[in-house]
Structure 1
Amino acid sequence: MADFSIAKFSNYQEYLQSFTTVEDYRYLPFHKTVVTLTKLGYREHRTFYMEDEFLSMKKQVEQLLNPTVSAQIYYSQYFKGTDPALRALVERETYNVQQEISTIIFLETSGRSGFAKSGYIDFEASLRNCRFKGPNAVDWRAVFEEKKMLKPQPSDIVFYDWKSRKIFSNDNDNYTVVAHPEYGLMFAHKGDHKNIPVTTKKNPFSSNVKRSMIRSNLYGFIILYDHYVRKKT
Structure 2
Amino acid sequence: MDEEVTSGSDNIVTEFNTYEDFLDSQITSLDLYYLEDEELARQLVELGYRGSGEVLKREEFEARKAAAEASRLSKRSQQKTLASSGKEPKDPFLRALAQREEANRSGKMTTLIFIRDKNSRGQEISGYIDYAHRLKTEDFEPYFVGKKRLLPRPSDLSFFNWETQTSASNPTPNYQVIAENATGLLFKNKRDRKILNVDPKAGTPGDNSMRTPVESKKYTQIVIYDHITRRKT
The alignment's TM-score, normalised by the length of structure 2, stands at 0.63
Letter of the 1:191 partner, please give it.
R
Cross-structure match for 1:111: 119
* Corresponding residue of 1:127: 135
Counterparts of 1:206 and 1:174 in 2: how far apart (Å)?
16
Q: Distance in 1 between matches of 2:152 and 2:86?
A: 21
User: 2:231 matched to which residue of 1?
Assistant: 231
- Give the Å deviation of 1:145: 0.3
Preserved contact between residue 178 and residue 186 of structure 1 (Cα < 8 Å): yes
AA paired with 1:91? Q
Counterpart amino acid of residue 181 in structure 1: N
Task: Measure, in 1, the Cα distance between the counterparts of 2:135 and 2:190.
Answer: 18
The structural deviation recorded for 1:203 is 5.9
RMSD: 2.5
Larger Rg: 2
Equivalences for 1:77-96 in 2 at 5 Å?
Answer: 77-96=85-104
Partner residue of 1:209? 209
Contact 1:103–1:224 (Cα < 8 Å) also in 2: yes
- Give the SS at the match of 2:227: strand
1:217 to partner: Cα distance: 2.1
Q: Contact 1:211–1:225 (CA<8 Å) still a contact in 2?
A: yes
Q: How many residues align?
A: 163
State the Cα distance separating 1:214 from its structure 2 match. 0.5
CA distance in 2, matches of 1:180, 1:206: 18
What does residue 178 of structure 1 align with? 178
1:110–1:116 CA contact under 8 A, matched in 2: yes
Shift of 1:80: 2.3
Letter in structure 2 aligned against 1:154 = P
**Is the 2:199–2:205 Cα contact (8 Å) retained in structure 1?**
no
- Residue number in structure 1 paired with 2:188: 188
% identical aligned pairs: 35
What SS does the aligned partner of 1:210 have? strand
Deviation at 1:95, TM superposition (A): 0.7
Q: Tell me by how many angstroms 1:71 deviates.
A: 7.7
CA contact (8 A) 1:197 1:209 kept: no
